[in-house]
Amino acid sequence: MAIGEVRHMGTAVLEPPADQVPGQDTERETARAKQAVDAVAADLVARGNLAGGEAQAVLEAQALMAQDPELAADVARRVAGGSTAERAVYDAFGAYRELLAAAGAYLAGRVADLDDVRNRIVARLLGVPMPGVPDSDEPFVLVARDLAPADTALLDPALVLGFITEEGGPTSHSAILARALGVPAVVALPGVGELAEGTVVAVDGSNGEVTVNPSGEQRAALARAAEERRAALAASTGPGATSDGHKVPLLANIGGPADVAGALEAGAEGVGLFRTEFLFLDDSERAPSLETQTATYRQVLEAFPEGRVVVRVLDAGADKPLAFLSPGEEPNPALGVRGLRTLLDHPEVLDTQLKALAAAAEGLPVYLEVMAPMVADRADAKAFADACRAAGLRAKFGAMVEIPSAALRARSVLQEVEFLSLGTNDLAQYTFAADRQVGAVSRLQDPWQPALLDLVSLSAEAAKAEGKSCGVCGEAAADPLLACVLTGLGVTSLSMSASAIPYVRAALSRHTLAQCERAAAAARAAESAEEARAAAEAVLSGE
Ligand SMILES: C=C(OP(=O)(O)O)C(=O)O
Ligand SMILES: [Mg+2]
């Protein structure tokens, strides 16, 4: 929870004058453009190195965007036609932006990243300050249309008390990175851009509420609630469990070795989701070598002796495109060849990854579990388990439940694998036909939707009947109240951004398993996400 004055993100597009330059200056302007592009790309990579983890991969992807050869050719063509370097960059990126925007809602998220890159290059060429997070010596609440990964990654939690965005959904990149940072954030709040600079707001990241000009009384109540939460956090330590001792291991979601320290600090009992695709974003042409992958995986596995580490094999496509693997144009990339489907089309990539994991775990006392994203049915689960066996991998093999079919027929999927892990971000996307990158449909991405809870329950019950485990590794697990409901639905472990672990641990430790079960039943009996949340809250607060 944060209270502070609103500062708006500097999103104004810098439009350079459309001056013409004489022919003899073409060479100089071309060189200036190239220099600015390279400097901005280097800056993004440097920011990535500073930020580490998932943010690093996102920033590096943006650096690649800046240096896209087709964009460079368009800039050169415009300079040859008499444009200044800054105008050529502005126009070339503008044309590309229109293409992206016209390509449909799916690419809308990418437009914000592209605009950010364009603004950075143009600002550099004009010699004006970079647009982005406002300069301020006083802490403030940042308000933006959407946040580019470059800005979210470097937000200084000492200055940025919290942030509010108009666009983006609860499972968009910005929200996931904010959670990793541990600052309160509210996303997809229409109209917030109209708040006057300097307005005092209270941002409650735990329930998504923003109070404008809170009264003294409201402020005091909010501060009291925040203080109570802090005290509860400080008091909760040790492994995750309900107050009557029902164990629910609390695991961390990580993007690579850089996230390990934060996970350990938060008391993670292991890793429940290692998103390996971030390792693959470095090179748009090919997969990292067996050796590079082995070394990276080993760094993570070494950090959790006697712990559990669940590695997800490459999840390329849709919101995580990889040029060398993702198929060409698809009308609906989220419904196309992605996740396990991509790997089954490129068995050599899957085989190298599994062999690297086998080599990395060699001789280590870690409990390695490997799972496939986007498993639709038993045939998918079998193809993945066969590939694991063929690679000589000694680990538990599992399937992510991200497609409703896998939840509906979870027992059949479990004939082939040893565990399930619910990816609630994609499960919501596919259950409600609501693209997770589109703010306009964020109501439907709410993991409190009773239909989603039904699918969680089906999966957890199937796992119980088969004597196997069923965790949750989507963003749903990071919501303390929902974590209690998921536990009540029979989920056996919860994996989340490290910063959420203390909150979830504290919430679980306040309730018995039976209370969690009652809250789960009440939530499932509701007719909407809001009702489900209120019903669970009422049960758990003893109303
Ligand atoms: C954990 C998940 O995977 P990702 O967010 O990486 O798609 C999910 O879909 O819930
Ligand atoms: Mg997913």
Q: Write out pLDDT tens, residues 201-212.
A: 999 887 789 999
Query: 321 and 198 in one domain?
Result: no
Query: 281 and 178 in one domain?
Result: no
Question: Residue 235: inside a domain, yes or no?
Answer: no
Q: Does the Cβ of 493 fall within 6 Å of ligand 1?
A: no
524 is in an annotated binding site: no
pLDDT number for residue 41: 92
Domains of the chain: total: 2
Distance from Cα 424 to the centre of ligand 1, integer Å: 7
Query: 281 and 149 in one domain?
Result: no
- 242, 275, 269, 266: which is closest to 486 by C-alpha? 242
Query: 354 and 205 in one domain?
Result: no
Query: 192 and 332 in one domain?
Result: no
213 is in an annotated binding site: no
Instruction: Answer with the one of 172, 198, 214 that is the final residue of a domain.
Output: 214
| CATH code of 71's domain | 3.50.30.10
Query: 102 and 47 in one domain?
Result: yes
Instruction: Answer with the one of 170, 199, 214 that is the final residue of a domain.
Output: 214
For ligand 1, atom 10, which residue shows the shortest CA distance? 423
Task: List the chain pLDDT tens, one digit each, 543 residues.
Answer: 889 999 888 755 678 888 888 888 899 999 999 999 999 999 888 888 877 777 788 788 889 888 999 999 999 999 999 999 999 999 999 998 888 777 765 566 677 788 888 988 998 888 776 667 776 778 999 988 877 666 666 677 778 899 898 877 766 666 766 776 778 889 888 888 888 888 999 998 877 899 999 999 998 988 888 888 777 777 778 999 999 999 999 999 998 998 999 899 889 999 999 999 888 877 777 899 999 999 999 999 999 999 999 999 999 887 777 878 877 788 888 999 999 999 999 999 999 999 999 999 999 999 999 999 999 999 999 999 999 999 999 999 999 999 999 999 999 999 999 999 999 999 999 999 998 878 788 889 899 999 999 999 999 999 999 999 999 999 999 999 999 999 999 999 999 998 889 989 999 999 999 999 999 999 999 999 999 999 999 999 986
Question: Residue 227: inside a domain, yes or no?
Answer: no
312 is in an annotated binding site: yes
For ligand 1, atom 6, which residue shows the shortest CA distance? 275
Rounded-to-integer distance, Cα 491 and Cα 327, Å: 35
Question: Residue 409: inside a domain, yes or no?
Answer: yes
Distance from Cα 114 to the centre of ligand 1, integer Å: 23
Q: Does the Cβ of 474 fall within 6 Å of ligand 1?
A: yes
pLDDT number for residue 173: 63
Q: Does the Cβ of 423 fall within 6 Å of ligand 1?
A: yes
End-to-end CA distance of the chain: 24
b/e map of 403-430 (b: 16 or more CB within 10 Å)? bbebbbbbbebbebbbbbbbbbbbbbbb
pLDDT number for residue 102: 76
378 is in an annotated binding site: no
Distance from Cα 325 to the centre of ligand 2, integer Å: 17
Ligand nearest to C-alpha 422: 1
Q: Does the Cβ of 426 fall within 6 Å of ligand 1?
A: yes
Report the nearest atom of ligand 1 relative to the CA of 402.
9
Query: 291 and 193 in one domain?
Result: no
Query: 302 and 190 in one domain?
Result: no
Domain interval for residue 52: 1-214
DSSP letter string over 354-385?
HHHHHHHHTT---EEEEEESS--SHHHHHHHH
Question: Residue 221: inside a domain, yes or no?
Answer: no
Q: Does the Cβ of 402 fall within 6 Å of ligand 1?
A: yes
Query: 247 and 185 in one domain?
Result: no
Read off the pTM.
0.70
| CATH code of 261's domain | 3.20.20.60
Question: Residue 219: inside a domain, yes or no?
Answer: no
Query: 269 and 201 in one domain?
Result: no
Rounded-to-integer distance, Cα 424 and Cα 169, Å: 14
275 is in an annotated binding site: yes
Distance from Cα 281 to the centre of ligand 2, integer Å: 17
pLDDT number for residue 373: 98
Which tens digits make up the pLDDT trace of 476-517?
999 999 999 999 999 999 999 988 899 899 999 999 999 999
Q: Does the Cβ of 424 fall within 6 Å of ligand 1?
A: yes
**How many CB atoms within 10 Å of residue 395?**
20
Entry field: residues in the chain: 543
Q: What is the DSSP letter of 214?
A: -
For ligand 1, atom 2, which residue shows the shortest CA distance? 423
Report the nearest atom of ligand 1 relative to the CA of 176.
5
Instruction: Answer with the one of 171, 199, 214 that is the final residue of a domain.
Output: 214
Among 54, 58, 271, 275, the mutation site with the greatest number of ligand 1 atoms within 8 A of its Cβ is 275
Residues labelled catalytic: 173, 473
Q: Which residues surround ligand 2, an ion (CB under 5 A)?
A: 402, 423, 426
Query: 203 and 54 in one domain?
Result: yes
Distance from Cα 414 to the centre of ligand 1, integer Å: 20
Q: Does the Cβ of 425 fall within 6 Å of ligand 1?
A: yes
Q: Which two tokens stand for residue 242?
A: 């309900």
Distance from Cα 305 to the centre of ligand 2, integer Å: 27
For ligand 1, atom 3, which residue shows the shortest CA distance? 423
Q: Does the Cβ of 236 fall within 6 Å of ligand 1?
A: no
Query: 265 and 128 in one domain?
Result: no
426 is in an annotated binding site: yes
Please state whether beta strands 200-204 and 209-212 pair in parallel, antiparallel, or not at all (unpaired).
antiparallel
For ligand 1, atom 5, which residue shows the shortest CA distance? 425
Rounded-to-integer distance, Cα 100 and Cα 106, Å: 9
Burial-class residue 191 by CB neighbours within 10 Å (0-12, 13-18, 19+).
exposed
